[in-house]
Structure 1
């Protein structure tokens, strides 16, 4: 009897350990990184929902400021990386007095591309802030985010970048237009290529309107939730808060989706 009892003790300990793990899981001890990611997404969705209800100039100002801050941080980091890699000799010396205008233009180009962290932060802030702000205004005015709006935003950001950085020919207006056109062509080509590779498969045609709606709202991460719940385009006019909750979409995005469907007459029509 004692031997049998001794053999059972390890089994009892193992069962106790398993029950502790199950209890820990039941108490909601989840991955902190996943929990933090969900909180950030919910906060982002709440901000997007608030911006969607604001006037165009308010949303454009907020988006421009956020884009400028992000660009400044990127430009400063890029400037520090270039300075560490190439050293102080990479700085372009000032041109001598009486320099030919064409040579002076090349000096300005070199200074704009090889400037220090503060110069790069300023240039990137102007470029990314202008791009984000113009894209926001174009999307609000035209009601869609397409290649024309993307190219218009790229043209504006390129022209402002040329003016602020001081790079270019003796004629700053002509160079701003040339730089803007170059930015627009590059951005337009990149937009069309990305759209081509992101074309839905034939089996996803039932979710084309829902996918477009989520992309306009910046909630494309929840497309998989729609597919898991079989929320096809035909169900969009019938969507309710409980239906979106069943497919595990947070409260902020739910409010944004329902408000968008209510405002869009094309989505309220049954197929």
Structure 2
């Protein structure tokens, strides 16, 4: 894989590589400036009072646009991204997402210490250091879990020391406390429980331990598009700009905090 090949990849949801510089002491990549920053900063930055939460509609938009970008790399570019994480999902002001930092493993390898990246890395990559299309799907599944839970993959508050985000979600779901999985910031929005569970089911399929049990990225795109299509067709859900909670932070009568159950994946 050469830098010229990566530079020829063009898609609305892939950050274009404009130039590169390689020398013995320095390696530089030049790409478009994405003014809204990264998903990591938007999702995890300044949590607490005074923060504007990332609402459900925008989380879904980011999930779908990032999936489309990765699927384009896989299908049209025949490129394994190799480093999918929320800091590499860059955003435009309208929260349309583009993937960056793709296809660099053959050039740079996986020099990052394993304990720093294991939160996104598929189990087989932690062992072999070899990235594949299916390991990208696993990493994207972790990204979906990050959007749903509001937790970083290696966040200390996941409980047991060293537990990763997929195992934490599976343990909570197994105890039938599915509602406890979701980001508290999403609980203010009305009638989105079923969609959250649908996206959680897609994420759980992506993070299957066995690579062959994971869907291909183009299938992941189709599943998320089908969710959006169903939402448009039934016309029942209010926009997530219309919170179901009052200003006192309590769920009003009839507002549910308990989504349908999810079956843990092996």
> TM-score when scaled to structure 1?
0.22
Q: Which has the higher strand share?
A: 2
> TM-score when scaled to structure 2?
0.22
Q: Which has the higher helix share?
A: 1
Larger radius of gyration: 1
